[in-house]
Structure 1
Amino acid sequence: MLSLKNLQKNYPGFSLDVSMEVEEGQITGLIGANGAGKSTTFKVILGLVHPDAGEIRLFNKDMEQISQKEKADIGATLSDSGFSNCLTVKQIVHILTETYEKFDREMFEKRCSLFSIPMDKKLKEFSTGMKAKLKVLTATSFDARLLVLDEPTAGLDVIARDSILELLREYMETEGRSILISSHISSDLESLCDDIYMIDKGRIVLHENTDVLLDEYGLIKADEKQYELLDKQHILKVKKEQYGYSCLTDERAFYAENYPQLAIERGSVDKVITMMIKGEVL
């Protein structure tokens, strides 16, 4: 569906160099701290930023070969952009009708009602959460093959987030679709994504199947003596703590079986992010 190979973009004090793939029929997460390169990656994919080097393939074609009609098969939300605050949703409906041949007006208006999005108010009167919901409803309203969603649940309460995630799951019930999504809310990605890429300082530092990350990764807590005796062949990152050491492993079962006295926590997106950024390689 989407392939990036050595995609590069250079700014003063920051450089991006990313390779990743989004498979057809899958939801792929991109995680990382603020400023790691997530939004830049999304903007390059969407053609809002021109890359300095590298290859982008979309729908099995080089990006340069993608027609305007095929670009309409991409639905997107960006954290720092949206419709003009002077518009109403009714006016946005007119814009979408004129822009997208496959825009489903009936479904869009029905979902706006379901998500309590007023049709006649200007967007400047919307809350942050209402604007976030409108972005996702727009991106899923015209039968796009690929969704590129940058922080789509930011600003939403728990109930609204769950509704949006359910909407994305429903979107994926149709064959031939994919989603690339970023979020600071790790539980969203853990419950939604098939695989996860982690970006740090403009580079991909980890790619893992979500089920593998949750089931096989772990965080070992060891004091000085326990750490000294620890078999470190399956340790990915180590962080010095007051009590001793935290160790990230992708073989939690190995350490649970061979070191039953150790405290070993199950893997999670938050724990992996923290250790991959703050931990050190042995």
Structure 2
Amino acid sequence: MIRTENLKKVYGKFELDCTMSVKPGYITGLIGKNGSGKTTLFKSILGLISVDGGKAEILGKDIRKIGENEKQKIGVALSDSGFSGYLTIKDMIIVFRHLYKEFDEKEFVYQVNRFSLPMNKKIKDFSTGMKARLKVIAAMSHNADILILDEPTAGLDVIARDEIIDLLRDYMEKDENRSILISSHISGDIENLCDDIYMIDDGKIIVHEDTDVLLSDYGILKVDSSMFENIEKDYILRYIKEGYGYRCLTDQKIYYKENYPDVIIENAGIDDLMTMMIRGEKL
């Protein structure tokens, strides 16, 4: 559905150089700290900014050759874009009728009513949560094969986030060949929703893992200085020196449980992965 190979974009000292893919039927998460390159990658894939090298494809076509038919099959919600604040949802329906060949007005109105979004109120007067819901509903409104969503749950309370996650699950259940590429700072959203995860840092992909593998096989070892000197280090990805000794990230949690029963081993989630991969040191 989406494939990039050494996709490059240079801004001063920052350079995006990214290889990744989003498979049919997958919800793929993109994580990384602010400024790591997530939004630049999204805009490069969508052709919203020029690129400086490499390849990118959507729906099997080079992004430079994407035509109107392919654009109709892509639903987008970017963190730094939205609808004119002076439009109402009724105004948007008129626009969408002309913009999208497969605009499903009945489903769009159903979802708007489901989330109690006012039809006649100007969007500029919507709350943050209402605007976020509307952006996702609009992206899903025209039978898109792929959704590209940049921080769709940012700034929302837990109830609003759950509602959007439910929307995305419903979208995927209607067609097993659909895909979603989504970025988020909310680790729980990514862990509960995504099939696989890419982590980007300083413009480079530094981790790609199936979510199930991450949650089952990755762990945090807590060891004192003596144990750190003697422990098998082939499966330690990063370490951080702390007051009691060392905190270590591994992708072979079971190995250490079986061979070092006295070591404290905690499950690792996305927050742990980000902290250790960005702040930790390689051996």
In structure 2, what residue type is equivalent to 1:29?
A: G
The 5 Å alignment of 1:256-275 reads 256-275=257-276
Pairwise CA distance, 1:21: 0.2
Alignment of 1:96-135 (within 5 A): 96-135=96-135
Take 1:59 and 1:217, find their aligned partners in 2: how far apart are those partners? 33
Structure 1 contact 37–199 (Cα < 8 Å) conserved: yes
CA contact (8 A) 2:221 2:263 kept: yes
Q: Give the match for residue 141 of structure 2.
A: 141
Supply the distance in 2 between the matched residues of 1:154 and 1:115 (Cα, whole angstroms): 18
**1:85 Cα deviation from its structure 2 partner:** 1.0
- With structure 2 as the length reference, what TM-score do the two structures score? 0.98
Amino acid in structure 2 at the alignment position of 1:85: G
Moved over 6 A (4+): none
For residues 151-208 of structure 1, give each alpha carbon's deviation from its aligned partner in whole angstroms, at most 9, with x where no partner exists: 0111222122112111111111113210000000000010111100000000000000
Write out aligned runs for 1:37-48 (5 A): 37-48=37-48
* CA displacement at 1:60 relative to structure 2: 1.7
Instruction: Provide the residue aligned with 1:80 in structure 2.
Output: 80
* Higher mean C-alpha deviation, range 170-179 or range 194-203: 170-179
Could you list the per-position Cα deviations for residues 25-74 of structure 1 after superposition, in whole angstroms to 9, with x for gaps in the alignment? Answer: 10100000000000000011111111110101121222233211211110
1:167 aligns with 2:167: yes
Aligned residues: 282
Mapped partners of 1:133, 1:154: distance in 2:
11
Q: Which residue of 2 aligns with 1:236?
A: 237
Q: Is the CA contact 2:9–2:52 (under 8 Å) kept in the aligned structure 1?
A: yes
Contact 1:132 1:155 in 2 (8 A): no
Equivalent position of 1:213 in the other structure: 214
Q: Is the 8 A contact 1:31 1:197 kept in 2?
A: yes
Q: Which runs of 5+ in 1 are unaligned?
A: none
Q: Which residue of 1 aligns with 2:248?
A: 247
- Give the root-mean-square deviation of aligned CA atoms: 0.9
Query: Does the 8 A contact of 1:26 with 1:177 survive in 2?
Result: yes
| Structure 1 stretch displaced more, 165-174 or 26-35 | 165-174
For 1:192 and 1:81, the matched residues in 2 are separated by 23
For 1:46 and 1:57, the matched residues in 2 are separated by 9
Q: Tell me how far 1:13 sits from its aligned partner.
A: 2.4
1:186 equivalenced with 2:180 (yes/no): no
In structure 2, give the amino acid aligned to 1:226.
Answer: M
SS, match of residue 265 in structure 2: strand
Between 32-41 and 104-113, the greater mean CA deviation after superposition: 104-113
Distance 2:93 2:51 in 1: 32
Q: Which region of structure 1 is more displaced relative to structure 2, 158-167 or 203-212?
A: 158-167
Percent of matched pairs sharing the same residue: 55
Query: TM-score, structure 1 length as denominator?
Result: 0.98
1:91 aligns with 2:95: no
**Structure 2 gap segments, 5+ residues each:** none
